[in-house]
Amino acid sequence: MLKMTGICKAYRTEVLEIFALRDLSIHIREREFIAVTGPSGCGKTAFLTIAGMLESFNEGEYELDGVNVYRMNDQERSWLRNEKIGFIFQSFNLLKDLTVRENVEMPLRYRHLSVSERRRRVESALYRVGLSDRANDYPEELSGVSIKASPLLGLLRARRGCCWLMSRPGIWMRRWRSA
Amino acid sequence: MAKRVMDLLQELHRGGATIVVVTHSAELTRRAEREVHIVDGSIVQHPLLGP
């Protein structure tokens, strides 16, 4: 599913070069459930953003689902990201000018799905987290009980064969509990 | 850790998804099939043995 070989990522300024990743190699098979651990600043987030093709790298090879990511152009990369990758990061990244339903629907709009299939998936996902009756609200209007489910909007973008990249779900679980 | 969220993660996994989760939670790490430990930008395969 995801294979990195000798990945190096450095952030350079005029006077110094800081390595976020040094010669990192990993092979994650399809359907694996992997916990990435390590001390703060060890490169976990750099690994996740490169795995999600949100950032480039300086050296090494990265294959996602058998495709060499380095050789792709932006458009091909966006397509692959949309098709294969799901993100759940510490911030929810909801678009405030779109309703809850439209937020859930957004990533599906970039795929070749029929309108009815898209609607079916969106409604089923909303139902699963108990947000069916709040689908027409805007993110800011979610409050009380409903706000507790908002981190789960990321999870709603579920699809088979997808690779989910998540950053510290414990943090939003705590927020969820205390909301 | 919220059971409902944990259950959803496992449901996703059972449904055929690959899951890569950055975490500081020992409980979540135990539930994963494999732990990948990163130190100083590289992967250390055996976290208990140290770098």
**Residue (of B6, B35, B2) closest to A174 by Cα position:** B2
Q: Say yes or no for a CB contact (<8 Å) between B20 and A160.
A: no
Does A155 reach chain B within 8 Å, measured CB to CB?
yes
d(CA B49, CA B51): 7
Domain that holds residue B38: 3-49
Q: How many domains does chain B have?
A: 1
Mean pLDDT of all residues in chain A? 81
What are A35-77's pLDDT values in tens digits? 999 998 899 989 998 999 988 999 999 999 899 998 889 888 8
Q: How confident is the model at residue A139 (pLDDT cuts 50, 70, 90)?
A: confident
What are B22-51's pLDDT values in tens digits? 888 888 888 889 999 999 999 987 544 444
**Which residues, 6 or more positions from A55, have their beta carbon under 8 angstroms from its beta carbon?**
A9, A46, A49
Pick B38's closest partner by Cβ from A36, A155, A163: A36
Tell me the percentage of chain A whose pLDDT exceeds 70: 79
Map out the domains of chain A as residue ranges.
2-71, 100-178
- Say what the pTM is: 0.73
- Taking 70 as the threshold, does the pLDDT of residue A138 lie above it? yes
Here the ipTM equals: 0.86
Structure tokens at A47: 């690994």
The CB density around residue A126, as the number of other CB atoms within 10 Å, is 21
The CB density around residue A171, as the number of other CB atoms within 10 Å, is 16
The pLDDT value given to residue A167? 77
Residue matched to tokens 């294969």 = A84
Strand partners, A11: A18
Taking contacts as CB-CB distances below 8 angstroms, the residues of chain B near A19 are: 41
Q: Are A104 and A126 in contact (CB under 8 A)?
A: yes
